[in-house]
Amino acid sequence: MQSVIPKVKSLMSGLSRELKRLSLKGAPSDQQGHDRHALDGRAVFAIGDIHGCLDLLDGLLEGIKVATARDEQSPLIIFLGDYVDRGPASRGVIDRLIAVAESYPGARFLCGNHEEAMVRFLADPQGGPAWSTYGGRATLLSYGVRPPGSNADDAAWARAQQKLNARIPPAHLKFLWGLEDSVEVGDYFFAHAGVRPDKPLQSQASRDLRWIREPFLSNDQPLEKMIVHGHTPSLKPHADRARIGVDTWAYKTGVLTALELRGRKRRYLVARRDGASILVRRCALHDFEPTPQGPGLPNP
């Protein structure tokens, strides 16, 4: 993995102090759904929606590195999508994820609805106004493209699209085009948004895997596999018999969460902004420290 950017280096003093406390023997475990099994002898980390928060991503990756330092096998890292939009460093996040793919061979990268919107805009400027309403403006700025105003005409959005296409690196395009819709690992099924409960997992539509909320969120009956997802933000992870949601609203709360799976054991690795530091800790769901409730949840 490439070295972290200078800003994040300055935050590592607080991070390193917290990481010294990480211990597999002493870490609590979330035993709900203990019959579900991931991989034998290999840790799995599923990282929730990043949304341009490069500092939190770097902190969490450093936490994974420390937490797996004594493992015999390299961890499997699954990114659940929504890497871009809303936060300030969408371009930097994609750079970092490309580096992760080199450092952790076999890492998997899912497509979120925000990546879908970005790719759509790269192909058709008519998608620009809608994309800009839920975070696309921040992504344009991260690539050095000034977003059109709220009342801009089609010609202005066409110019912005041309500039973005000219400035986005080919490696970023290759990364975006190569994103997956789902990943299956043991008794777990990973998707950005979720699944349609009345359909077999092998018959899910891309639209649902990237965008669904209901009837997925209200389903409380176990499915073929435990569904691990992001997309729907909450102040702490959600876990029940059917699903585990790990989107903790990073760009607004300053908390980025990964689900850690080891065989039948389950816990969370959390990177949290704390003043000028990024603190990382491992915890069970009942020990998770939510951020105080802010304004209403964002649009998808």
pLDDT of residue 286 exceeding 90, the answer is no
d(CA 205, CA 184): 15
d(CA 1, CA 3): 6
The CA–CA distances, whole Å, from 174 to 119, 160, 170, 236 equal 11, 20, 6, 33
Tokens 């997802």, residue located? 229
Is there a contact between 117 and 131 (Cβ–Cβ < 8 Å)? yes
Query: What domains does the chain contain, in order, with CATH numbers?
Result: 6-107+185-287 (3.60.21), 113-178 (no CATH)
Tell me the pTM: 0.89
Compute φ and ψ for 14, nearest 5 degrees: -65, -35
Q: What is the per-residue pLDDT for 19?
A: 53
The HSE-up count of residue 96 (CA atoms within 13 Å, CB side) is 25
**pLDDT tens, 103-121?**
999 999 999 999 999 999 9
